[in-house]
């Protein structure tokens, strides 16, 4: 009996299909094993991370940080009269004349104005009051006078930038 000879590509096709099917099954098994491994390891790993985070949270703050926290949270004390406090006003919102307008308002409240200038950045979203060491009470009063909610010690400004002032206002948007 004579049988027709199979072409070479006919001999390869069944093996190719079998290889693709076996590869697909192996990939699915690998994904299932990875998911099962992640589920088995998730709880112990989360416990370890939780313990380490708890230990890090109980570390006592440094002496400098503790002193700064105590100073900021202390009651402000008695403020000097407005006429004896000089304020440097910075424009931090980019609107022309904002610092001058704020300075005129402060002068009307009885404060001395050390000067006006543009802030290094022009993208302040809100106004900020900052004070030199020893002028916290005056800074808190100035913030109340201007209805400003963000008050703190000088941050990012050198005292020389205040041109003799004790407080600074950065006018924001």
Q: What is the pLDDT of residues 104-125, one digit of tens each?
A: 999 999 999 999 999 999 999 9
Helices 136-146 and 98-108 cross at an angle (nearest 10°) of: 110
> What pLDDT digit, counting tens, does each position of 20-34 carry?
889 999 999 999 999
- Asked whether the predicted pLDDT for residue 160 surpasses 90, the reply is no
Distance CA 68, CA 111 (A): 27
Q: What pTM does this model have? A: 0.58
pLDDT-based confidence at residue 142 (cuts at 50, 70, 90) = very high
Domain regions of the chain by residue span: 1-59, 76-171
* H or E segment to which residue 137 belongs: helix 136-146
pLDDT score of 99: 94
Q: What percent of the chain has pLDDT over 90?
A: 49
Measure the CA dihedral 123/127/132/138, to 10°: 170
Long-range Cβ pairs for the range 53-61 (8 Å, 24+):
none
Class of domain 76-171: alpha beta
Neighbours of 81 (CB within 10 A): 9
pLDDT score at 12: 59
The mean pLDDT of 96-103, rounded to a whole number, is 94
Q: How far apart are CA 75 and CA 56, in angstroms?
A: 30
């Amino acid at each position: 009996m004579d049988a027709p000879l199979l072409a070479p590509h006919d001999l390869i096709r069944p093996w190719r299909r079998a290889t693709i099917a076996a590869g697909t099954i192996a990939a699915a098994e690998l994904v299932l094993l990875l998911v099962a491994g992640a589920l088995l390891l998730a709880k112990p790993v989360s416990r370890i991370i939780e313990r380490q985070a708890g230990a890090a949270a109980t570390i006592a703050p440094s002496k400098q940080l503790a002193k700064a926290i105590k100073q900021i949270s202390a009651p402000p004390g008695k403020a000097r009269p407005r006429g004896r406090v000089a304020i440097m006003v910075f424009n931090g919102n980019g609107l022309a004349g904002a610092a001058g307008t704020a300075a005129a308002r402060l002068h009307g409240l009885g404060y001395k104005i050390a000067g006006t200038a543009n802030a290094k950045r022009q993208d302040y979203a809100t106004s900020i009051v900052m004070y030199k060491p020893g002028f916290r009470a005056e800074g808190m009063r100035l913030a109340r006078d201007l209805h400003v909610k963000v008050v703190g010690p000088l941050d990012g400004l050198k005292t020389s930038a205040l041109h003799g002032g004790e407080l600074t206002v950065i006018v924001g948007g």
